Amino acid sequence: MKRLPPVDAVIVGGGWNGLLMAKELGARTGLSVLVLERGEPRRMQDYVEGMDELDYGIRLRLMQDISQETVTFRHSLRHSALPVRQYGSFLPGSGVGGAGEHWSGISYRYPPDSFELLSRTIERYGAGRLPEDHSIQDWGVSYDELEPYYARAERMMGISGKAGNLRGRKIDGGNIFEGPRSTEYPTPPMKVPYLAALFRDASRRLGYHPYPLPAATISQPYRNPDGVIRAGCAYCGYCERFGCMVGAKAQPTNTLLPVLGRRSNVRIQTGAWVRRILVSANRAKGVTYMDQQGEECFQPADLVFLASWTLNNTRLLLLSSVGEPYDPETGRGTVGKNLTHQISIPAAMAFFDKPLNRFMGAGSAGIAINDFDGDVFDHSGLNFLRGGSIYTVCYGFRPMANFGVVPERVRSRWGSEWKKEALRYYDRTGRISFYGEHLAYKGNYMSLDPKYKDRYGDPLLRLTLDWRDNERNMAAFMASKAVEIAREMGAGEITPFAGLKRYDVTRYQSTHIQGGTIIGAHETQSVVNMYLQHWRVLNLFVLGASAFPQNPSGNPTLTAVALTYRTADAVIDRYLRHPGALI
Catalytic positions are: 512
Query: Which CB sits closer to another protein, 70 or 551?
Result: 70
CB of 118 to another protein, least distance (A): 29
Q: What single string gives the DSSP state of each residue in 21-65?
A: HHHHHHHHS---EEEEESS----GGGGGGG--IIIIIIS-TTB--
Work out the number of other CB atoms within 10 angstroms of the CB of residue 225. 9
Q: Taking phi first (over 0 means left), then psi (-120 to 50 degrees means alpha), and beta for anything else, what does residue 208 get?
A: beta
What's the min distance (Å) between Cβ of 48 and another protein? 7
CB of 47 to another protein, least distance (A): 11
Sign for the pseudo-dihedral over CA of 543, 546, 548, 553: positive
Cβ-Cβ contacts under 8 Å for 127 (sequence gap 6 or more): none
What residues make contact with another protein under the rule CB under 8 A? Answer: 48-49, 51-55, 58-61, 66-67, 69-70, 73-75, 79-80, 82-86, 88, 191-194, 197, 232-238, 245, 354-355, 357, 359-361, 365, 398-400, 403-404, 413-416, 419-420, 423, 426-427, 451-453, 502-506
Query: With contact defined as beta carbons under 8 Å apart, do 320 and 279 qualify?
Result: yes
By beta-carbon proximity to another protein, the closer residue of 109 and 358 is: 358
Quick one: 84 or 141, whose CB is closer to another protein? 84
Interacting residues of 477 by C-beta distance below 8 A, sequence separation 6+: 372, 382, 384
CA-based end-to-end distance of the chain: 36
Q: What is the DSSP letter of 181?
A: B
Report the nearest approach of another protein to the CB of residue 288 (Å).
22
Q: Name which of 74 and 379 has its Cβ closer to another protein.
A: 74
Q: Considering beta carbons, is residue 125 or 359 the nearer one to another protein?
A: 359
State the minimum distance, in angstroms, from the CB of residue 417 to another protein. 10
Contact predicate 99/518, CB 8 Å: no
Q: How far is the CB of 388 from another protein (least distance, A)?
A: 22
Nearer to another protein among residue 116 and residue 454 (C-beta): 454
- Amino acid of residue 270: T
CA 366 to chain centre: 18
Q: Which helix (H) or strand (E) holds 469?
A: helix 469-488
Distance between CA atoms of residues 446 and 317, nearest Å:
11
Burial zone of 185 (CB within 10 Å; 0-12 exposed, 13-18 middle, 19+ buried): buried
Query: Which residues fall within 8 angstroms of residue 281, CB to CB, at 6 or more apart?
Result: none
The dihedral of CA 200, 372, 476, 57: what is its sign?
positive
CB-wise, 84 or 307, nearer to another protein?
84
Least distance from C-beta 215 to another protein, angstroms?
A: 13
